[in-house]
Amino acid sequence: MRATLFITILAVLVLGACGTQGTSDNNTTDSSRVLATVDDTQITEQMLKDELDMIPPYQRASFETPEGRRLLLNHIVERELLLTAAIDLELEEDSFVIAQVELAMQQVKIAKERALIQTFYQQEVVDAIVIPDDKILEYYNEHSGDIYRQEAQVKVSQILLTLEDDTAAVKTALEAGDSFETVVLEMSKHEPTVNTDGDMGWITINSPLPYLGEQSEISEALFATEVGEVIGPYSTIMGYHFFLVTDKKEEGVRPLEEVRESIENVLKPAMVNSFFQDDLLPRLRERYGVEINEDAFLPDEEMPADSLLQSAQNLMETNPETAVEYFKLFIERFPEHERAHQAQFLIGFTYSEQIANYDSAVEAFQAVIDNYPESDFVDDAEWMIQNMGVPPEELLLDQNPELNEENTEDSVE
């Protein structure tokens, strides 16, 4: 039983270290007062308080009584006894202990790195971005007819009475100069609003009234009432109501300053991401000299020739730069392969048609002509060099001159 209770208390203390820090009520107690000693270690009032603060709030109350404090102290003593005995046995060098300490240090290192990254990102990226006023105004104008368009609204407070006879007393109090808020506290029977000066919030024209539902007569009267005016009493299934209009918003566009923060919240993420990707990261790469071992990401050397060539062809449209690297790798690894001339031609074709790097394309096509003079692709390579960059419609006319003649005749007619 005792062993089970000891383990339970230890579990509470461990869980407490992950919980919310609390504060005990023993602030007036001398924190240096010694409560117990174990060998040369003194257990002080402050140590007991620290242990108590690490226990989650929902479990802490049972340890704040004198009996609970004594129980907690006993288990601190027991923990110190076990720790002292373990040190005497030189268990600090035990492999399990060392492994646990190393793991804890790794977690501390990870936590520190995450905190550093988060702080840097917040200060140097998020906080560094200030949305220009012209961007805010542009977005505001674009959405003045939808997002930032508002219908007419009134802000209303109420006094609710359950007896009709009490309406006279409300009128008398208001006419005598008592504030609406005072009368709410003294006489209103509506529990949800009695402690908020009767506030019912904002009401949009033609919308249900809070707590009351559809009340077209009352709604029309409220929108016809000036700020500061009291109207009523009105009878509903809830009782008898007096209403005070405390504020109004006319139909139209919400003021820019009212929605500025929401616009910034919409625009900022994209600007933050653009700054991070296009500005900050390139500068950091240059400052700290990033070097990538591209060879580590090349296809495995055991990949068959046909598979490597097929992989290169599959990448021509989606990732043409990588496709070129794979074609070159194919020629490097399999220079005598029967399809090496095709790979060389496809290098030029990818440069020309996918990347639009015509200088590199000409160089690649010329390599087909020079290195594979017997290849069926030589004529194609020569044609590509001669017609590179020419619009397709011009090539069509060159190959079909009768089309050009027909167009000329049509224009004459």
Q: Quick: pLDDT tens for 321-362.
A: 999 999 999 999 999 999 999 999 999 999 999 999 999 999
Numbered ranges of CATH 3.10.50.40 in the chain: 152-250
Is pLDDT at 114 greater than 70 in this prediction? yes
Q: Token digits for 388?
A: 């590179």
Query: Would you state the CATH architecture of domain 152-250?
Result: Roll (3.10)
**pLDDT per position as a tens digit, 287-311:** 999 999 988 889 999 999 999 999 9
The answer to whether residue 269 scores a pLDDT higher than 70 is yes
Distance in angstroms (rounded) separating the CA atoms of residues 153 and 142: 23
- pLDDT, tens only, 272-285: 999 999 999 999 99
Q: What pLDDT was estimated at residue 398?
A: 54
Angle between helices 340-349 and 378-387 (to 10 degrees): 10
If you average pLDDT over residues 22-48, what whole number do you get?
79
Residue for token pair 């700290």 = 288
Statement: residue 5 has pLDDT above 70: no
Pinpoint the residues of the chain covered by CATH 1.25.40.10: 297-405
Q: For residue 339, give the amino acid letter.
A: R
Residue owning tokens 């990818």: 350
pLDDT above 50 (res 16): no
Burial of 214 (0-12, 13-18, 19+ CB in 10 A): exposed
Is residue 38 pLDDT above 90, yes or no? yes
pLDDT above 60: residue 11: no
Question: What's the confidence (pLDDT) of residue 400?
Answer: 54
Phi-psi region of 252 (alpha: psi -120 to 50; beta: other; left: phi over 0): left
Ramachandran angles phi, psi of 156, nearest 5°: -130, 145
pLDDT confidence bin for 23, thresholds 50/70/90 = very low
**pLDDT band per the 50, 70, 90 thresholds, residue 397:** low
What is the arithmetic mean of pLDDT over 118-146? 95
pLDDT at 96 over 60: yes
CB contact at 8 A, 49 and 35: no
Mean pLDDT value across residues 27-33: 75
Average pLDDT on 246-256 reads 91
**pLDDT value at position 319?**
95
- The class of domain 297-405 in CATH terms is mainly alpha
